[in-house]
Amino acid sequence: MANSLLSGKFAAVLPAGGLGKRMGGNIPKQLMQLGGKPVYQYSLETFLKMDEIAEVVMAVPADWKDYFEKEIETFFSASENVGKFRIKLKIVLGGSERWQSVENGVNALTSSAKYVLVHDVARPFISEKIIRDVFDTLVNKGSCLVAKPAIDTIKIASDGRVESTIDRRKVWLAQTPQAARIDLLKQLYTRIAKEPLNFTPTDEASILEFFGEPVYIVKGESANDKLTTPEDFEVFANRAKHV
């Protein structure tokens, strides 16, 4: 159930700019059909329909922007919330790296929202419960990310030979959403522009960590796993039947 006190306090940026090369095929994986609709539409609809979310920005590949816009028009026309969804959604071009797509999305935010949640559209089955857990952590603690505890024994290896074993009780597998105050992310992007990073961030948490910002964990779940390989499609298609 929506919390009226939190209504409109949050925005979402959905990076959909990757081409999904590990998936194969001739279209980005986020546009592939899963259970009768494109992969990206699952998470897009989840965020659009939540009253706590004031706006949603989706960052897409430049060569596919027209395709996405036509797809979304079809999505809108089939929705009973068409007016509400149109007002909330904005599409921007992605960057050459994922973090730059997110930066483009964050810089395109125009509402009065204080916080932003960044979620990969290749994680189509994000639950409203997890999203609301992120809301609570953001407001009461600060920047956070969704992650699963590791259940397997973790080995460090080099050249096919085990070097050491990590205490899995300290290992968490990062998911999304990853979230922070909008003004904080903008400040960090400004700092990066002045002094470029010496590494390529793979997520928002790694940027926050680099600048010494605390990042809290919101417990995730297997249903929020990422669609990455062709083998994943069968598993995700079965999940789609129950959505």
pLDDT for 118-142, tens place per residue? 999 999 999 999 999 999 999 999 9
Residues 180 and 102: beta-carbon distance below 8 Å: no
AA identity, residue 84: K
- Using 50, 70 and 90 to split pLDDT, how confident is the model at 235? confident
The residues near 164 (Cβ < 8 Å, ≥ 6 apart) are 155, 156
pLDDT of residue 222: 93
User: Where do the domains of the chain lie, and which CATH numbers do they carry?
Assistant: 4-240 (3.90.550.10)
The pLDDT, as a whole number, for residue 25 is: 57
The pLDDT of residue 19 is above 80: no
CA angle, 208 as apex, 206 and 209 as ends, to 5°? 60
